Structure 1
Amino acid sequence: MLSWAPDTNHIGVYVAKHLGYYAKAGLQPDIVAVAQAGAEQAVNSGNADFALSNLTNVSIASTKDAQLLQVLQVQQKPSAIWCSLQSNTAITRPKDFDGKTFATFGSNESDAVIKRMIEHDGGKGEFDKVTVGTSTFQTLSSGKADFGGFYATWEGVQAEMNGPQLRCFTEPDYGVPGNADTIGVITNSKTAKQNPELVRKFTQATQRGYAYAYEHPDEAAKILVDEAPEANLDLAFVKRSMHTIVDGAYWGDMNAMKQGSFTLGTNDVSGSQQYIDFLAQAKVFTDAAGKVVDTVPQVQTLSTDKFLLSAQELAPSFK
C-alpha cells in the first residue's frame, strides 16, 4: 500500500515490479492506493501485507497497540522543509513564524517541530493554525496561511521548476534532533514471525528496486511514470526529484554502498530514537483514547534489518 500518491519515495517498489524482481522471488504484489484510515492501519488490520511508512508513524501507531515492524528504511536523512513564500518578506527565519499562521495537516508532531524551530531561533514558539484542505501551495498563495511543510525531494523540486518560489528552513539547523524522515517499508510483526520467508523475499526484492533506482535515476523515473499512469506525473519533474535524492545522498552514501560498507535499506535506529525521544518530551504520543503516553516507544523493537540483503550481496547493484 502506498502512503500517499505515487512519488519517488515509492519508486523502488515500482521498479522492483517492473524489472521482475518480485516475480523472480515468486511474488506478484498488487500496488494499491492508500486507505482512508492510513497505510499503518491497513497493515495492522491485515488489509495490506506491506506499506510505505516511517519509524515515526510506526512509533505513533505502537502507542495505540498496533503491531508493526519496519523492515527496510530507504531514506537516511531528513528531507522535510518548512517554508513561506519567498514573496512574503515578513518571514526571513524561523523566529518570524511567531504569530503567523501554519498550514497544517493536523498532526501534533508537526506542531512540536515548528515550536522547537522557532524557540531555537529565539522566538516564543506561538503560532496560529489552519488545516490544509487541498494543497499547501494553494493555502499559502491564497493568504490563508503564512508557512507550511514540504519535502525537499518532491514539493521543493516542484517549486524550483514551476513556482511559487519558497524560502525554506530545515529541522537539523534549528534544534530538531535525529532523523524525522525515516521512510521505508513496514509489515505486520505477526507476519514477520509467522511468514518470515515472505517478508524476506519482498524486502530483498524491494531493496534491489531502490538500489537500481539510486544507480539509474533517469531509467527509474520513467518506470514510475509508466507504471503509475493514474498519477499523471511529468517525466522531467520525476527525473529532477530522483537527481535531488541522488545528489543529496538522501538514501545513503553511494560510495559506501559500492564498497560494501553500508547497506541500502538499513534502519537508522539511533537517529530515529533521538527524534522519537524529542516527540515524547513534547507529549506527542497518545493512546487510542487520546491520553498522553509517557512510555517512550523504542525503535529497536519496532524495526529490524534481518530480512535485508547484506552490503556485500547488494554491492554488485552499484557499478
Structure 2
Amino acid sequence: MLVACSQGGSASSAASGSASAASGSSDSSASSASAGATAGSSASSGLRSVSFVLDYAPNANHTGLYVAQEKGWFAEEGIDVQFVPVPADGSDALIGTGGADMGMTYQDYIANSLGSATPMPYTAVAAVVQHNTSGIMSRAEDGITSPAKMAGHRYATWNLPVEQATIKKLVEQEGASYGDVQTVPYEVEDDVMGLQANLYDCVWVYEWWAVANARLQNYPVNYFAFRDIDPVFDFYSPVIAVNDKFAEENPDVVKAFLRAAKRGYEFAAEHPQEAADILCGAVPELNRALIAEAQDILSPLYIADAPSWGVIDDARWSRFYQWINDENLTEKAFDPSSGYTMQYLD
C-alpha cells in the first residue's frame, strides 16, 4: 500500500526490497497514471513509442527514468516512453513475450529463464545500480549482526531455491548450521511491521527501502549487506532488459532509450533530493520522507566505482551465475556470461 507523498505518516512497503529482491513477487498497484504520456501521443508528436514495464510500484530504483521523462530527454532522443505497471507475475514474462519492449528486472530472475528448458528471448542491457543493495534486517535487540547469528532465530522465507541457497551458503561459511535457522513464511507487506509484530526475527530486504523505513519510524534494527560478506552475492539488482526481437529490429531506439536513461540516473546521482522531488511529483502517492531517505542511500550507487552508469562487469555477472550452476539451482546449466550485452550502451 502506498501512502500520500508527504513528510508525515508511516512508510509503506510498496517497493519493499525483500519482496522484489528474492521472492519473485510483485505489486500491480503501480498506477497507470504514472505513465509519462497518454496513449496515442506518439502519433501526433512523431516520436517513436517505447513501452517499459516496471518491476514494482514506482520507487527509487526508477528515479532516473522519471527524471529523464520530466526533463524531456527521452523526447530529445525521439522516443515517447510509456511506463507500464508490473503485472501480477512480474515483468520478465511481459518483456520476454514482447508485451513490453523493455523493462526492469534482476540478474537472478534472468537466471531462472536462462536455466530453463525454454529460455525467454530477452537480455539485460544496463545495470541500474552498481552493487547489490540487499541484505538481512533484524531487530537490534536480537543481536543478529552476521549470517551465523541467524541460527536459533526465525527467518522469513519465500521457499525459493536461489534465496534459500544464498542464506545457507552465508550461514554455513561462517561455521553455523543452516538447519538451526528456523524458516517461517514471508506473509507481510511491510518488513518493519513484521519485525514489530514479532512475525519473524530477520528478513531479506533492500537497505535503501526497508532500513530507511525503520529509520523514519525510529525503530532500531541491525542490517548486514550480502555484498560485504561474499563477493558472489554482489550481483546486479536491478537491470534494464530488452525484448530480443525489439532490439534486433530497433537497435537505435534501444541506444536512444539508454542515452536518455543514463542522463536521468547521472542527474539523480548528482542531485538526489531534486531527483526525489521529480519522482514524487510524477507519483504523488509516494511517501516523500521515505523517498528522500531512499534516494540518499541509493543515488551514490547508481554509478559508484563503475566507469559510467549502466556498465555491467562480466567478472561479477559471471561469478554469480557460475555459483548458480555449481549449486544446480536451475533446471539446466547455462553459460555464466550469457543474459546480458553492452552493445547498446554508449
TM-score grouping bracket, smaller chain normalisation? 0.7 to 0.9
Letter in 1 for 2:334: V
CA contact (8 A) 2:68 2:260 kept: yes
In the aligned structure 2, how far is the partner of 1:179 from the partner of 1:41? 24
Q: Pick which of 276-285 and 6-15 moved more.
A: 276-285
In structure 2, the partner of 1:57 is 109
In structure 1, the partner of 2:9 is none
In structure 1, the partner of 2:267 is 212
In structure 1, the partner of 2:296 is 243
In structure 2, the partner of 1:161 is 216
Deviation at 1:225, TM superposition (A): 0.4
CA contact (8 A) 2:114 2:334 kept: no
In the aligned structure 2, how far is the partner of 1:182 from the partner of 1:279? 16
TM-score with structure 2 length normalisation? 0.78
Letter in 1 for 2:134: A
Deviation at 1:92, TM superposition (A): 4.3
| Residue from 55, 71, 78 that aligns with 1:3 | 55
In structure 2, the partner of 1:16 is 68
Question: Is the partner of 1:219 in helix, strand or coil?
Answer: helix
Equivalent residues in 2 for 1:94-105, closer than 5 Å: 94-105=147-158
In the aligned structure 2, how far is the partner of 1:269 from the partner of 1:75? 15
In structure 2, the partner of 1:122 is 175
Deviation at 1:8, TM superposition (A): 0.7
TM-score with structure 1 length normalisation? 0.84
CA contact (8 A) 1:53 1:183 kept: yes
| Residue from 236, 243, 253 that aligns with 1:188 | 243
| Residue from 262, 269, 276 that aligns with 2:314 | 269
Sequence identity percentage = 24
| Residue from 275, 280, 290 that aligns with 1:225 | 280
Q: Deviations over 1:163-201 (max 9, x none)?
A: 432111221343352522332210112221122122111
RMSD: 1.9
Question: Is the partner of 1:220 in helix, strand or coil?
Answer: helix
In the aligned structure 2, how far is the partner of 1:297 from the partner of 1:57? 15
CA contact (8 A) 1:73 1:268 kept: no
Q: Indicate whether 1:28 and 2:80 are aligned.
A: yes
In structure 2, the partner of 1:298 is 336
After superposition, the Cα gap between the structure-2 partners of 1:137 and 1:253, relative to the gap in structure 1 and judged at 3 Å, is closer
After superposition, the Cα gap between the structure-2 partners of 1:236 and 1:135, relative to the gap in structure 1 and judged at 3 Å, is closer
CA contact (8 A) 2:269 2:303 kept: no
After superposition, the Cα gap between the structure-2 partners of 1:253 and 1:148, relative to the gap in structure 1 and judged at 3 Å, is closer
Question: Is the partner of 1:29 in helix, strand or coil?
Answer: strand
CA contact (8 A) 2:322 2:336 kept: no
Q: Deviations over 1:10-36 (max 9, x none)?
A: 111111111111111221111121111
| Residue from 94, 109, 117 that aligns with 2:162 | 109
Deviation at 1:111, TM superposition (A): 0.8
Letter in 2 for 1:61: S
CA contact (8 A) 1:8 1:241 kept: yes
Deviation at 1:274, TM superposition (A): 1.0
CA contact (8 A) 2:66 2:279 kept: yes
In the aligned structure 1, how far is the partner of 2:148 from the partner of 2:277? 41
Q: Indicate whether 1:44 and 2:96 are aligned.
A: yes
In the aligned structure 2, how far is the partner of 1:92 from the partner of 1:23? 47
Question: Is the partner of 2:105 in helix, strand or coil?
Answer: strand
In the aligned structure 2, how far is the partner of 1:87 from the partner of 1:71? 42
In the aligned structure 1, how far is the partner of 2:317 from the partner of 2:69? 29
Letter in 2 for 1:166: V
Q: Indicate whether 1:85 and 2:139 are aligned.
A: yes
| Corresponding pairs, count | 290
Question: Is the partner of 1:302 in helix, strand or coil?
Answer: coil
In the aligned structure 1, how far is the partner of 2:225 from the partner of 2:288? 27
Letter in 2 for 1:49: D
CA contact (8 A) 1:15 1:213 kept: yes
Q: Indicate whether 1:70 and 2:70 are aligned.
A: no
Is there any run of 5+ residues in structure 1 with no aligned partner, and where?
A: 257-261, 287-292, 310-319
CA contact (8 A) 1:158 1:237 kept: yes
Deviation at 1:284, TM superposition (A): 1.9
